[in-house]
């Protein structure tokens, strides 16, 4: 497949390497100064993979839909515009996958997190919290992955109705603690703590290769399809 990379920072370069290893063609590599080239690049590509910035992502996605170019998006921090993007997707009849984290390991971690939240619903003596650590260049806090983890806990554990950053507001609020330090790629921990003990599950990324491979697998899955899909579809986890 011919791929247009929208955003060519560290993640873009890692994705390029995975694409080449899997026999695909990188048709375009667009940076922040290449916006005028976007429509032409999309018209000449089979699919786009978008890892740019929260400020630019919404316009990039709308342009992909307009040009009928399927798109994989890993940019976080823009999902306040989720309904707007979904409406644009439906109107265009294009194809789209968004994930806060494309790592296969993280997707399995999401499954463990949902299951653990269900198991803990009958154990009110355990208080839940999330701790995430990333490199200092990460712009958003908490991370999109931490927000996804929190949303899954809230959806599966009736004791929690919202999340807060860095401090618990009430017993119904799930706290997410964010830390930025180099050279951490990404760490996410879920803790259930009582006066007696603590139950923890943790995912640590050693490099960007897992994120990049997951994005390429998602692109391979999306070719020839229409509509909105998730990494659960890509990995066949919906039947679990």
> Active-site residue 188, yes or no?
no
Distance (Å, whole) CA 226 – CA 180: 38
Q: Which residues are within 8 A (CB) of 67 and not within 5 positions of it... i.e. 6 or more apart?
A: 39, 42, 43
Distance (Å, whole) CA 116 – CA 119: 5
Question: What burial class does residue 71 get, using C-beta atoms within 10 Å of its C-beta: 0-12 exposed, 13-18 middle, 19+ buried?
Answer: buried
Of the CA atoms within 13 Å of residue 26, those in its CB half-sphere come to 19
47: β partners: 3
Distance (Å, whole) CA 105 – CA 235: 11
Q: Which residue in the list 138, 157, 188, 203 is annotated as catalytic?
A: 138
Q: Which residue in the list 134, 157, 188, 203 is annotated as catalytic?
A: 134
Distance (Å, whole) CA 212 – CA 204: 15
Cα–Cα distances in Å, from 88 out to 64, 99, 152, 238? 10, 18, 26, 25
Classified as helix, coil or strand, 15 is helix
> Active-site residue 138, yes or no?
yes
Catalytic residues: 134, 138
């Amino acid at each position: 497949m011919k791929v247009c990379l929208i955003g060519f920072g560290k993640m873009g370069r890692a994705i390029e390497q995975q694409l080449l290893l899997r026999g695909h063609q990188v048709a375009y590599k667009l940076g922040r100064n290449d916006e005028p080239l976007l429509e032409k690049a999309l018209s000449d590509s089979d699919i786009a993979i978008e890892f740019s910035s929260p400020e630019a992502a919404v316009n990039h996605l709308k342009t992909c839909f307009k040009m009928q170019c399927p798109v994989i998006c890993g940019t976080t921090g823009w999902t306040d515009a989720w309904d707007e993007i979904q409406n644009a997707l439906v109107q265009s009849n294009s194809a789209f996958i968004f994930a806060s984290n494309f790592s296969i390991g993280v997707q399995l971690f999401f499954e463990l997190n949902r299951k653990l939240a269900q198991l803990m619903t009958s154990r009110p003596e355990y208080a839940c919290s999330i701790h995430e650590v990333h490199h200092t260049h990460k712009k958003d806090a908490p991370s999109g992955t931490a927000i996804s983890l929190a949303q899954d806990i809230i959806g599966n554990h009736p004791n929690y109705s919202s999340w807060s950053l860095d401090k618990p507001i009430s017993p119904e609020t799930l706290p997410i603690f964010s830390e930025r330090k180099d050279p951490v790629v990404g760490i996410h921990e879920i803790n259930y703590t009582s006066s007696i003990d603590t139950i923890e599950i943790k995912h640590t990324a050693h490099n960007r290769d897992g994120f990049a491979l997951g994005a390429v697998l998602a692109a391979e899955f999306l070719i020839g399809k229409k509509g909105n899909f998730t990494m659960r579809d890509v990995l066949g986890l919906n039947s679990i």
